[in-house]
Amino acid sequence: MTRRTPPRPLDVEALFPEVAAFRRNTVRLHPRRGEPGPGDSSLGGPLRWPAEEPWPLCPEHPGSPMVPVVQLYRADVPDPAPFPPGCDLLQVLWCPRRHDHRWVVPSVHRRSAAAVGAVRPAPPAPPEPGYGQVPRPCVLHPERVTEYASWDLPQDLWDALEDRIEQVEAETGWDYQYHLSTAPGTKVGGWPGWAQEQPWPHCAGCRAPMHHLLTVESTEEHDCRWAWTPVEDRAAPAEGADLSLGDLGGVYLFECRSCPGRPVTHRAC
């Protein structure tokens, strides 16, 4: 079943023309409980991992296997595409055990699906993973939507918009941050769905601002963000990955597209 986000309830760029410069496309992945295979894009599903390649282990818990988090095929996420040239498969794993203040330690892999021969089965998840840090298997329903920066707007623009945002909310009930700007839930590209304000990461190699690669959120269902609930899920709550990251926040992955090997960093909040 496809998932369709309803249009924004107000014309964002008519009310706040300044944010047009901060318009981006994102792909909401809409993970829903299912039985994906290694040939499918998934969240928490089996990866198409080469049999001859060692399974990733946590650098902070030596010998402790990581667990599959996200697998994306280019055919399912053509634009904005998180794939370097020659690659059509993105795989994200993380160590689900406790790490001070960072919750998880992720690992990102890009490859050509056609180059993977025999597939290595995943080892069992480590005993005592952090609560809610091993996603249950979900199939994805990718949907491209438009969003606008919220936390990431420059401070002077926030100052200029503040009164208008409050006025619009008083008149219509729609809040810029919750209903009009960034899409909630697990998504590719666009703006990170920060649960709290965070400094934008810069590359340790070239010092340039990094690209938002992927947000993995605990849930896309928030009572206060009803305006983003897909049409298909309005009658009954959707079954997702059952993640519980921090205070129902998320893990935010960034990459540098200029440096060799596309170094990755992450934030958690």
In this complex, which beta carbon is closest to Zn ion, that of residue 9 or of residue 205?
Answer: 205
* Strand order from edge to edge, sheet including 67-73: 32-33, 138-139, 42-43, 67-73, 89-95, 105-111
- The one among 61, 110, 120, 222 contacting Zn ion by CB under 5 A: 61
Contact map string, positions 102 to 131, toward Zn ion, x by CB under 5 A: ---x--------------------------
95 binds Zn ion (CB under 5 A): yes
- The one among 160, 206, 224, 231 contacting Zn ion by CB under 5 A: 206
- The one among 8, 97, 111, 179 contacting Zn ion by CB under 5 A: 97
In this complex, which beta carbon is closest to Zn ion, that of residue 77 or of residue 203?
Answer: 203
- The one among 58, 140, 188, 251 contacting Zn ion by CB under 5 A: 58
- Integer Cα distance of 134 and 67 in angstroms: 7
179 binds Zn ion (CB under 5 A): no
Report the nearest approach of Zn ion to the CB of residue 189 (Å): 18
In this complex, which beta carbon is closest to Zn ion, that of residue 92 or of residue 256?
Answer: 256
- Integer Cα distance of 21 and 149 in angstroms: 9
- The one among 203, 214, 216, 238 contacting Zn ion by CB under 5 A: 203
In this complex, which beta carbon is closest to Zn ion, that of residue 210 or of residue 238?
Answer: 210
Q: Nearest CA to 81 among 187, 189, 183, 191?
A: 189
Cβ–Cβ < 8 Å for 132, 103: no
Report the nearest approach of Zn ion to the CB of residue 55 (Å): 14
Q: Which two tokens stand for residue 20?
A: 């047009």
By CB under 5 A, which span of 69-77, 78-86, 195-203, 244-252 interacts with Zn ion? Answer: 195-203
- Integer Cα distance of 136 and 242 in angstroms: 6
Contact map string, positions 14 to 53, toward Zn ion, x by CB under 5 A: ----------------------------------------
By CB under 5 A, which span of 39-47, 132-140, 196-204, 214-222 interacts with Zn ion? Answer: 196-204
Contact map string, positions 229 to 258, toward Zn ion, x by CB under 5 A: ---------------------------x-x
In this complex, which beta carbon is closest to Zn ion, that of residue 241 or of residue 256?
Answer: 256
The residue ranges that bind Zn ion (CB under 5 A) are: 58, 60-61, 95, 97, 105, 203, 205-206, 256, 258-259
